[in-house]
Amino acid sequence: MIYAITQLSYIVATALFIFSLHWMSDPKTARWGVYSGVAGMLIAIVATWVQPEIIIHHGWIIVAIAAGFAVGIPLSQVPLTAVPQRTALSHAFGGLAAGLVGTAEYFLWLGGEHENITTFRMIAVIVEIVLGYLTFTGSLMAAGKLQGIKWIPQRPVTYSLQNVSNIGLIVVTLVLGTALVMNPLTGWSATVFMVIIGLSLLFGVLLILPIGGADMPTVISILNSYAGLSAVAMGFVLNNKLLITAGALDGASGLILSIIMCKAMNRSFVNVLFGAFGQVQETKKEGEEERVYKSETPEGVAHILEHASLVVIIPGYGMAVSQAQHKVRELYDQLKKRGITVKFAIHPVAGRMPGHMNVLLAEANIPYTDLVEMDEINSDMPQCDVALVIGANDVVNPAARYDKSSPIYGMPIIDADKAKTVFAIKRSKNPGFAGIENELYFLDKTWMLFGDAKAVMGDLVKQLSGANSSH
């Protein structure tokens, strides 16, 4: 009887999760998605907990849940610029949970429940711990890189034979895994199991070392997918279909986001994971003369902005770093007041995670109807009077269209260079993250504004509001 109620609850929970994701298709219904997700989760937890034959140690559960609340609530209050690190951190928690449950299950089997060991479950438990632990350390590394923690190198780290040693590690893990599946109960089985855990932890670190900031959106999506798949494997191990369905939903989401991110960079999975982006053209070709930027003052920019009729703002990671979104909103208000059309052009990989820019601009109260995707805005770019680039770099580099030697060749970009005038706000004169010179900055119609994005936007707003009051 209890069993039937539990299973029925799991079916209801699965349906609620599917509805939850379905409602995310539109910002108008998206909050329903959260409520339905919470309802599904509550049902799942209660249905699992209220099984008198299985659950005995209630105190333990209460303490662990309370601790989860104690850490989870502050984690949900981080500033929105820190959302990529928080997301990476939660992938780490997800991976850890899967890894630990897998470990616990295997040692239970080893310690007496021999009848539970089948080839299928051994494969599942090994997949679970490998994915779980590598997601754990990989996501911790990614979170560290995003947070800018000192002892984690920010730049991609490469060394000789990197790919060979990584592939070697995979092969060794596969061999050990196969040996364990065939001999799950011999004297050395536990040792091999622990070695696989160690290798997975190590592999997570090695996987993220060569990853640079520009690849973070893809890598976060891949880790998202792994976290989901490790939950699926846990479902196979525990014979629990709710874990399988919910994990598959998460895995599918990570997979789709990874594909979108890879397409937006014109790269393949393999290339992202093993390519060490940005190492290709580090050094400038010798004999090439230093090219000069044309700078413009905030007064000049403000004057031209005032006389525009269509302004397209292209935000990038630089806007997030300097938290300039609220100043951007003030500029948006100033321009709107003058009857100027203002649109935001959002590149799928702008920022450090999928949708990063949209969330920041929404936080600044900019209506989402003015946030336009790359594919839609590009046809309007020739009519655009001013393209204002705020801390974006590679996503507007026209070299992606014609320069076959460029590492970003073939990547779809926002056609900022087709606008009548381009202003680009940039922190320093150094090339961007990938170390690639941006052809856009040297065009005749481009003027640069050097400085912190927030400070520059503040100056622009001051100019515009001053001019407004003198009228």
Q: Contacts with other proteins in 335-394 (CB under 8 A)? A: 346, 348, 353-356, 358-359, 362-363, 365-369, 371, 373
DSSP string, 316-336: -HHHHHTTTHHHHHHHHHHHH
CA 356 to chain centre: 8
Which of 3/402 has CB closer to other proteins? 3
Could you tell me the sign of the dihedral formed by the alpha carbons of 7, 9, 14, 18, in that order? positive
Examine the residue annotation and report whether 444 is marked as an active-site residue of this protein: no
> Minimum Å distance from CB 235 to other proteins?
7
Which of 261/448 has CB closer to other proteins? 261
Q: Does 188 bind other proteins (CB under 8 A)?
A: no
Output the six-digit token pair for 46: 């209660």
Q: Does 279 bind other proteins (CB under 8 A)?
A: no
Cα–Cα dist 218/254, whole Å: 9
Q: Which of 184, 213, 235, 435 binds other proteins (CB under 8 A)?
A: 235
> Minimum Å distance from CB 154 to other proteins?
22
Q: Does 245 bind other proteins (CB under 8 A)?
A: yes
Q: Does 107 bind other proteins (CB under 8 A)?
A: yes
Which of 217/298 has CB closer to other proteins? 217
> Minimum Å distance from CB 25 to other proteins?
4
Which residue's entry shows tokens 């680039």?
A: 389
Strand partners, 316: none
Q: How far is CA 414 from CA 197, 213, 346, 348, in A?
A: 44, 19, 8, 10
Based on its alpha-carbon atoms, the radius of gyration of the chain, rounded to whole angstroms, reads: 26
Q: By CB under 8 A, what part of segment 119-138 binds other proteins? A: 120-121
Task: Name the amino acid, one letter, at 205.
Answer: V
From residue 293 to residue 312, the character string flagging contacts with other proteins as x (rule: CB under 8 A) and all else as - is: --------------------
Burial class of residue 401 (count of CB atoms within 10 Å of its CB; 0-12, 13-18, 19+) = middle
Q: Does 86 bind other proteins (CB under 8 A)?
A: yes
Cα–Cα dist 366/361, whole Å: 6
| Helical (H) or strand (E) element with 422 | strand 421-426
Q: By CB under 8 A, what part of segment 156-185 binds other proteins? A: none
Backbone angles phi, psi at 344, to 5 degrees: -110, 130
CB atoms within 10 A of CB 385: 17
Which of these is catalytic: 215, 394, 417, 459?
394
Which listed range, 95-103, 269-277, 293-301, 413-421, lies at the site for other proteins (CB under 8 A)? 95-103
Cα–Cα dist 404/414, whole Å: 18
Which of 182/256 has CB closer to other proteins? 256
Which of 277/344 has CB closer to other proteins? 344
Q: Does 446 bind other proteins (CB under 8 A)?
A: no
Residue 127's nearest CA partner among 202, 226, 206 is 226
Q: Would residue 391 be called left, alpha or beta, if left means φ above 0 and alpha means ψ between -120 and 50 degrees?
A: left
> Minimum Å distance from CB 26 to other proteins?
6
Cα–Cα dist 378/401, whole Å: 13
Give the number of residues in contact with other proteins, rule: CB under 8 A: 119
Q: Which of 5, 34, 174, 185 binds other proteins (CB under 8 A)?
A: 34
> Minimum Å distance from CB 7 to other proteins?
10
> Minimum Å distance from CB 194 to other proteins?
13
Task: Name the amino acid, one letter, at 69.
Answer: F
Q: Does 469 bind other proteins (CB under 8 A)?
A: no
Which listed range, 65-73, 159-167, 412-420, 422-430, lies at the site for other proteins (CB under 8 A)? 65-73
Q: Does 202 bind other proteins (CB under 8 A)?
A: no
Q: Which of 126, 141, 243, 464 binds other proteins (CB under 8 A)?
A: 243
| Helical (H) or strand (E) element with 170 | helix 162-182
* Catalytic residue set: 394
